Structure 1
């Protein structure tokens, strides 16, 4: 039952974030609004106001002309917006990378705009279908026709707002800032327990001792559960895994995390005790269902998607065909801003206990070193002969080393990048003045580090 509920929640989340769901709902709402407005007109209330000249008097021919004109105009605006959107997406994918199309597809404002056009068009069709026909002679939907006029004005304003929204959204700085905010939010969610779940010093020491004990016991085991399909790990149902382990009285450690690509036969989980052949088959099936493996990367992969997207934008900006160093520098700034939070609140491996407080599951974790290596190595290789970007990487290392709560392990990771930067500068920067300036900055950074 839990597995069915988990799959149902994932499916609902997928539908909710898809591009077609909101426009479909708004289209149905537009048709329903047309039916309700016609019902209001059938009461004769709006017609009486028109006879008293309190509202605009409308004839049958005038109503048909207005409604048909508005319906045609709305569908024309919708086609224009679709065309502009595809042109913008094409340019964005070429300049910044196709990975960013996922972000635009999930843009609620874009979905709302398309939904408003389709809903308005269906509203006009419903009203147009009954205009001029009625049980008591000619039927003029005065109230509905006035609503159609307001819908036309609103649709025109929506088109202008949408064009402005698209023009701002496809700008490199706007997209990079948005990716940076999403990465920071993903890291905040991923490391919330490391920041807020710390207890007293004695409690932390006891938890650390228990963690070492469980890790040592699991290292002695060679019993592993393998993946039955290839793809990206989108999510791991931790609660389901703990329940499964509790049912079989086992302890285990995950060997992958969301964002990893697994191939068929790759180990997902290591357990500490052996089961009978009958129980082991059922156990493997339950464990494999707790790992949600998808064919493509998704935005739900805590931080991995945003890091890869920012790195991809930087690499494309540094390609010979584009050669935009400032865009690459903006990506580095956003990466450093997010990664610095990991140094201030380092991620510790999580040991999840069952309802009775007994440790059951050791979760695989990747922290500061993983993110800085994933971010800096590709950019440094692409910018090996670009003094402007190499200077920004040096500044990024300076910012990270100046953090007050950075650990010795994280400092070592930054120092390794400084060594790699020094080798890159000496080997690839051909201009003597630029090379000397960068090496001088590197020397100042080394001196400041030694003083600290």
Structure 2
């Protein structure tokens, strides 16, 4: 199974994450501009409408709008401070988590809402002259305060989970479940022999990266597959998404029929535009990076400075879920299929043994002295050994043996060693695994 070349359909596009970020930034700017515009237009338009809204005299309306504007500006500052503190806390757990999760950018929309409300109140305040009070405008300002209050409460509720190791692990696990279904579909089939065999009859055009050293961030799979199908070419990537790329490195090869011409070189430039580079990795097309992040949370929790084995166990919960999902799916190198079902794009990808090593080896090393973590690892490896196919059991069995050796060395006391092999009530997932481990 590990050596099979699998196929799948392309999904998404390289700009999906960037598009979400642009939409959120645009929404924040739109809310700010809409607040200022509404505060300018509504009081003027209200002069031609029947009286409606809360009853205010001029002085009370001015005081109300001024208070709303000042409080919203103060609240926007509080939101910025809260997000800054959360970012610092998350970076302390792993400096890569903030960029990988990417959910902090949505708080810009809340910031835009607060600033837009403040601008609305300030601009509407400028229209109160004499006894004429734009009652509807003031009433809407009060309504916006209620909306802002609900939004801020939702922010605080979400931040409560974002600053815990378990909450971060669950967020990464949720992202990984979607990515796994996209990158490793259960229905993947081996590619057709005529498309994956030797291609000595084709000439190649190298796709060379000329920029500064960077990470292969993402590939616009749909656009690239359509381009390859339209021109009847194959693209063979030499590096996987997430790999570090130096300048003047051949990232992929474009295989064409017949001699290489200027048309093929122009096509290679168009193909190169479907590949994106960045300063860091992303989980969106790189499931191994998500596994790396979960391992980071586990290892950081086991460091002497933190000493939080419960958080490590929570990270192992997500690691177990990821590995069980991958245990019966085709892994390794893959081909992307075009609309006619023909393989067009090949790319490398990690094998089962690579993912198991990435997920567990460091926690095995640093957690072997903690009974709770050892118990959790025993349960994880036992379930994984049962779920995996025969040709994948060796990687799991090696870690089971390594765990027993490491735990015996780190926990020489017979009592602690015996306790470490038996799950207890305080273990996450112990209820599921007690019977399994007892029968070993």
Say which of 16, 23, 42 aligns to 1:16: 23
- The Cα offsets for residues 384-432 of structure 1, whole Å up to 9 and x where unpaired, read as 43332122222111111122xx322321221222233233234433434
TM-score between the two structures when normalised by the length of structure 1: 0.79
Number of aligned residues: 414
1:233–1:257 Cα contact (<8 Å) kept? yes
2:165 matches 1:172: yes
Distance in 1 separating the partners of 2:150 and 2:196 = 61
Match of 1:254 in 2: 237
Unaligned runs of 5+ in 2: 1-12, 424-434
Match of 2:390 in 1: 408
Runs of 4+ in 1 over 6 A off after TM superposition: 6-10, 219-222, 444-449
2:344 matches 1:360: yes
Match of 1:394 in 2: 378
- The Cα offsets for residues 60-113 of structure 1, whole Å up to 9 and x where unpaired, read as 22211111122112111222222233223323322x223232366524763343
* Matched ranges for 1:187-206 at <5 A: 187-192=180-185, 194-195=186-187
Say which of 18, 24, 32 aligns to 1:27: 32
Distance in 2 separating the partners of 1:447 and 1:222 = 60
* Matched ranges for 1:257-268 at <5 A: 257-268=240-251
- The Cα offsets for residues 285-341 of structure 1, whole Å up to 9 and x where unpaired, read as 334323211122234234234222211111110111110001001101101112211
- The Cα offsets for residues 227-269 of structure 1, whole Å up to 9 and x where unpaired, read as 3333222222334444555566544432223222222344422
* Matched ranges for 1:197-276 at <5 A: 207=190, 210-211=192-193, 214-217=195-198, 225-229=207-211, 230-242=213-225, 245=228, 250-270=233-253, 275-276=259-260
Distance in 2 separating the partners of 1:103 and 1:366 = 20
Larger proportion of helix:
1
Distance in 2 separating the partners of 1:356 and 1:24 = 43
Match of 1:98 in 2: 95
In structure 2, the CA distance between the partners of 1:162 and 1:349, relative to structure 1 (3 Å rule), is closer
Match of 1:371 in 2: 355
RMSD: 3.5
2:304 matches 1:320: yes
In structure 2, the CA distance between the partners of 1:264 and 1:108, relative to structure 1 (3 Å rule), is closer
Distance in 1 separating the partners of 2:17 and 2:174 = 24
Unaligned runs of 5+ in 1: 1-5, 50-54, 198-203
2:379–2:437 Cα contact (<8 Å) kept? no
- 2:236 partner SS: strand
Distance in 1 separating the partners of 2:170 and 2:154 = 21
Say which of 400, 404, 410 aligns to 1:418: 400
1:187–1:302 Cα contact (<8 Å) kept? no
1:23–1:118 Cα contact (<8 Å) kept? no
In structure 2, the CA distance between the partners of 1:341 and 1:222, relative to structure 1 (3 Å rule), is farther
- Structure with the bigger RCO (C-alpha within 8 Å, sep 6+) is 2
Which piece of structure 1 moves more, 177-186 or 144-153? 144-153
2:336–2:343 Cα contact (<8 Å) kept? yes
Distance in 2 separating the partners of 1:364 and 1:28 = 46
State the structure with more CA Rg.
1
1:233–1:262 Cα contact (<8 Å) kept? yes
